[in-house]
Structure 1
Amino acid sequence: MRALRILLIIVIVLGGIFVAADRIAVNIAESKAADKIRNSQHLGSTPDVDIKGFPFLTQVLGRELDEVDVSLSGVTATAGGHSVNVTEVTAELYAVRIDSSFSSVVAGRADGAANISYADLSKAAPKGATVGYAGAERAAKGQVKVTGPLTDLLEGQGVTLPASIKAMLQGQKVTAYSTVALNGSGAVQLRAESLPTLPVPGFDQRLRKAVDYDLKIDGMPASIKLDKVVAGESGLRFSGRGTEVHLAG
């Protein structure tokens, strides 16, 4: 019995050493992977990398990790020719193939998501338009609120307003509730369900162009195709999926 107890103690001690070594190895690997992703994707900050699964060392020997979660505080993208902040960027990577130095990191599948605030969406909107939260009920239907001074919206579309008409329209504000969707190319579409009747005829189509527009977002990972957008209280939440996603190498 004494020999059995000694054997059990040895097994427990060796198991603890293996677990400790495994955790040390995974921490080093997470740091190296984060640096590789930052450099290969030209990011302004280093992402947080969390390698899932245990034991890690056996996954390394097989050159494939079950799951790797990546998160980043924010990146800069371009929308409508304006720089916008993309925040809360996350990616869940599966079947991640690596080499011994982490110089090559390729995910067989990746689920990604990111947020763009209403303030940044307003920067990229047509001149005079401000994009904001439409309330819980309308947000649940995928709608946002687009507002702006009527004269600014029309002049932003190249309409020259005679002084008399501009004086008559001065102070009038347009409020529209627009449904947000993604088109086939991944661009964001805003389409108002209705617009107010203008006191001056002939400007309805110009106003429609100021409120209905497409917004192409460049700078997101090219290998992840956005397929869903949700309107939240602070902005729009985009999500998508990709295969054979190259993060380094």
Structure 2
Amino acid sequence: MAHDDPYEERPRRRGRKVLITLVVLLLVLGGLIVVADRVAVGVAERAIADQVRQEIAKQGAQSSPPEVEVGGVPFLTQVLDGRYERISIALRDVQGSVRGDAVALPKLDVDARNVRASLDTIRSGQGDVVAETVDGTGTISYDSLAKLLDRPGLTLGEQNGRLAVTAPIDILGQRLTVTGTADITVGKEGQVALRFNDLNADGLPNQPLARTLLNNYARGISIDVPLPELPFQLAVREVRPLPEGLAVTADARNVPINSATG
């Protein structure tokens, strides 16, 4: 009767131990690579945030510290290639000044794609970080927009997807409440135009003069909105009323998303 040779089992056990050790080493090495990758992402995000802060200050605007997120995995291969899939930048409480009037942007989110930045630029902060495409979405608060119209008691908001206005008005000795909506258009240079063409007031006297006064009020609050210069050379393409404010969509092509230095 055949017996198992104990010497044959030892090489098998040694082989299994070597295999297990190799697997463990690979897992440890993979974990270290992942950690290093995430550490490198953090360093890059802080460097880009600092340069974006300089860009905002250069344009005479203010905001809370930029929040930067570098997308794409793995990150280190993007560093070596000098090209990044996506860099997202979140700006909050953006304040600009146009013609002495403050225009508030409580939120401005920027999504940069196919970003070119050398390793030296990320490491030293010197040089350009250039994005092939940049898309931005911001929100103008209704309060700041109402201040531009400069009519006591006037309030703005969203109603069925349109910009709605409510305001008190004195017409022929009567105190009335005006309501209506505005048409919004974006000009070639990104200028946003508000035109209040359809205003009504309950109790409006049935007289031509009363209607003329109401039409004059509508023309008085129809303005071209003086938007602040958006960062990253963003050009306004669309404006939509939302419950939280006037949503602005903008884009740009082949632009630096940092202040070039050095």
Bin for the TM-score computed over the shorter chain: 0.7 to 0.9
Q: 2:243: which partner in 1? A: 233
Give distance in 2, aligned partners of 1:68 and 1:146: 38
1:31 maps to 2:46: yes
1:68 maps to 2:78: no
Q: 2:190: which partner in 1? A: 186
Give distance in 1, aligned partners of 2:199 and 2:85: 51
Matched pairs, number: 229
Give distance in 2, aligned partners of 1:172 and 1:79: 32
Gaps of 5+ in 2: 1-14
* TM-score in terms of structure 2 length: 0.79
* Deviation by residue 1:12-33 (Cα, 9 ceiling, x = unmatched): 1111111111111111111111
CA contact (8 A) 2:184 2:193 kept: yes
Share of identical aligned residues, percent? Answer: 27
Give distance in 2, aligned partners of 1:51 and 1:134: 34
1:107 maps to 2:111: no
Residue 124 of structure 1 aligns to a residue whose secondary structure is: helix
| Alignment-mate amino acid for residue 174 of structure 1 | V
Q: 1:154: which partner in 2? A: none
1:34 offset after TM fit, Å? 0.5
Q: 2:23: which partner in 1? A: 8
CA contact (8 A) 1:80 1:125 kept: no
Give distance in 2, aligned partners of 1:127 and 1:232: 22
1:127 maps to 2:127: no
Gaps of 5+ in 1: 152-165
| Alignment-mate amino acid for residue 182 of structure 2 | S
1:239 offset after TM fit, Å? 1.0
Q: 1:86: which partner in 2? A: 105
1:151-170 equivalence runs, <5 A? 151=170, 168-170=172-174
Indicate the structure (1 or 2) with the bigger Cα radius of gyration: 2
Q: 1:218: which partner in 2? A: 228
Aligned-residue CA RMSD in angstroms?
Answer: 2.2
1:131 offset after TM fit, Å? 4.0
Give distance in 1, aligned partners of 2:132 and 2:176: 53
Q: 1:173: which partner in 2? A: 177
Give distance in 2, aligned partners of 1:90 and 1:241: 11
* TM-score in terms of structure 1 length: 0.83
